């Protein structure tokens, strides 16, 4: 999206106090999240070996930052895009029982990102994954998990308000649910982003179900890799998909605000179908995909929750560069400075 400069933006916290608030939010939310979903913290890699199928390829077009490892026969490693598949292998390695899971701090570099208020070269998120039973692969389980995450978010917002009473809460009491196909039918002729804006403005907080499968207008709501989220299985509402995005309405920027991408993960049948749809059957020879086909990975649900995005939202900041250090175009730094938005570099 294009850079947004709010017309009446005012700092709620000075930079020094913002740092204190960031720590408060991160400490509080990860504690709430771990309790809500029965997760334990693990340490995650910054990079993984290429050509194993472990790295997340996001929308399938972004290129991972990579380098050669002299000490390992000059083999290529990649900086992670996310840990969507790595986490599932760890559930198996640690033998984590159904109903329990793990979370970690994920740090990534996305060199192809278009930089604006919400997008940075540097990505920091809580990546989490939870073992489930095969019979839990349904829409009710997905919605119940979303509600638990939202409760942890609301509790964190309350702590911020207690510490900084001039930052008043904006989240609605409950999160709503809608399928991406319902949005196509409700808002014909609009782009996915326009549909997100309309429903987020109306509901305040919404989980959009079914990200990745082709909709009735011939296009998916957004692209999703074919080998982690299940976006092809028919759910109990009669639509396709057991995944989705948590979208909030950002009152500072007056736009929809994606906080989390998550979903029930593919089983053998869903992965085979989705790889076929995307013409990616060559991945079946990769390490991760073989493990899933051979039944060595548990059924799971998981996702990522943006750390800087959460801080940005709860502290009512106008730009993600106010809560993290990164690199920005000089003209963007100057535009923001003139509006009282100071980016960390």
Residue 74, phi-psi category: left (phi > 0), alpha (psi -120 to 50), beta (remainder): left
Catalytic residue among 30, 82, 120, 125: 125
Active site residue 16: no
CA–CA distances in Å: residue 168 to residues 49, 143, 171: 45, 27, 10
Report the alpha-carbon angle 172-203-182, nearest 5.
145
Active site residue 261: yes
Active site residue 157: no
Active site residue 110: yes
Catalytic residue among 38, 105, 116, 258: 258
Catalytic residue among 56, 157, 181, 322: 56
CB-side neighbour CA atoms (13 Å) of 323:
31
Active site residue 258: yes
Alpha carbon distance 21, 25 (integer Å) = 6
Catalytic residue among 120, 261, 274, 326: 261
Q: In what order do the strands lie in the sheet with 47-49?
A: 47-49, 75-79, 66-69
Catalytic residue among 57, 88, 110, 322: 110
- Centre a 10 Å sphere on the Cβ of residue 191 and count the other Cβ atoms it contains: 11
Active site residue 88: no
Could you write out the DSSP letters of every residue in 73-135? TTEEEEE-S--HHHHHHHHHHHTPPTT-EEEEEEEEE-TTPPPSSS--SEEEEEEEEEE--GG
Strand partners, 107: 124
Catalytic residue among 157, 182, 229, 245: 245
Alpha carbon distance 343, 336 (integer Å) = 7
- In SS3 terms, 176-240 reads as EEEEHHHHHHHCCCCCHHHHHHHHHHHHCEEEEECCCCECCCCCECCCCCCCCECCCCECCCCCE
Which residues are known to be catalytic? 56, 110, 125, 245, 258, 261
């Amino acid at each position: 999206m294009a850079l947004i400069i709010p017309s009446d933006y005012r700092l709620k916290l000075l930079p020094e106090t913002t740092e204190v608030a960031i720590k408060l939010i991160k400490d509080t939310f990860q504690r709430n999240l771990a309790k809500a979903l029965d997760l334990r913290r693990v340490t995650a890699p910054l990079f993984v070996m290429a050509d194993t199928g472990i790295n997340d390829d996001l929308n399938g077009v972004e290129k991972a930052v990579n380098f050669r490892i002299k000490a390992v026969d000059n083999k290529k490693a990649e900086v992670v895009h996310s840990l969507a598949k790595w986490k599932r292998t760890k559930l198996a390695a640690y033998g984590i029982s159904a109903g329990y899971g793990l979370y970690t701090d994920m740090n990534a570099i996305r060199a192809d990102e278009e930089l604006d208020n919400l997008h940075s070269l540097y990505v920091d998120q809580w990546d989490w994954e939870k073992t489930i039973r095969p019979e839990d692969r349904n829409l009710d389980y997905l919605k119940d998990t979303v509600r638990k995450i939202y409760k942890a978010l609301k509790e964190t917002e309350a702590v911020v308000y207690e510490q900084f009473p001039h930052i008043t809460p904006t989240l609605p009491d409950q999160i709503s649910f809608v399928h991406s196909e319902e949005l196509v039918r409700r808002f014909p002729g609009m782009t996915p982003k326009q549909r997100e804006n309309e429903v987020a403005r109306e509901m305040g907080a919404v989980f959009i179900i079914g990200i990745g499968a082709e909709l009735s207008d011939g296009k998916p709501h957004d692209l999703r890799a074919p080998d982690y989220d299940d976006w092809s299985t028919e759910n109990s509402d009669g639509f396709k998909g057991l995944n989705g995005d948590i979208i909030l309405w950002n009152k500072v920027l007056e736009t929809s605000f994606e906080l989390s991408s998550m979903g029930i993960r593919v089983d053998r049948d869903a992965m085979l179908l989705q790889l076929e749809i995307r013409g990616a059957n060559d991945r079946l020879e990769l390490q991760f995909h073989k493990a899933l086909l051979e039944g060595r990975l548990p059924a799971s649900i998981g996702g990522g929750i943006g750390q800087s995005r959460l801080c940005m939202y709860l502290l009512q900041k106008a730009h993600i560069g106010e809560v993290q250090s990164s690199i920005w175009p000089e003209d963007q730094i100057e535009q923001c400075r003139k509006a009282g938005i100071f980016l960390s570099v």
